[in-house]
Amino acid sequence: GMTLTLAKSPGKLPFSGSEFQRNGTYGYGRYEAVLKASEAGGAVASFFIYTGPHFGDPHDEIDFELLGRTPRSVYVNYFSRDDKDQLEVPLWFDAAQDYHLYAFEWAPDSIRWYVDGVKIREVSAKTASVKIPTTTARVMVNLWAGVGPSAEWTGQAEFSRTTATYRCISHVPMGQTAAQCSDAFKAPPKP
């Protein structure tokens, strides 16, 4: 596991965040992370796959974003060639108080998002307003602060230091079996 830190910065930017990228690119399959989000307003703890112009690819992305200002909901988003589909989904817990399992299954014709084994969203290529992403991507997690225009969404960052902790990150390619975060994770009881 790892703990990412976000802190006020004395440098040019107001905050210094943290990011982890797994080596290589990954395609269709099941992605999982066990994490405890930040409780600080203005902070965003994310688990996602991403590729874009920096890597010589179109912008394709699938993510979970947990905002400290709204700890009882999660944003499940995806991008395909810069087109974006975003949805805020209510949670039955405070994401900053305990560890939970966040997972998504990416296939050529669909994306399904899960929290603690419960499906919270599904998009199908047949009915989606934005096409399903197709480009292999990097597995990433980060902790960042909204500043400028993004602070309208994240809330104003008014903290000195905050953290988000990731216990496990896994990927199993579509049609294969292998060890996953969910093998050893037991979700906290529902309130």
Q: Which residues are catalytic?
A: 61, 65
Instruction: Write the single-letter amino acid at 43.
Output: A
- Positive or negative torsion for Cα 81, 19, 29, 33: negative
Are the beta carbons of 179 and 168 closer than 8 angstroms?
no
Q: How far apart are CA 33 and CA 12, in angstroms?
A: 32
Q: How far apart are CA 99 and CA 37, in angstroms?
A: 8
Burial of 104 (0-12, 13-18, 19+ CB in 10 A): buried
As a whole number of Å, the end-to-end CA separation of the chain is 26
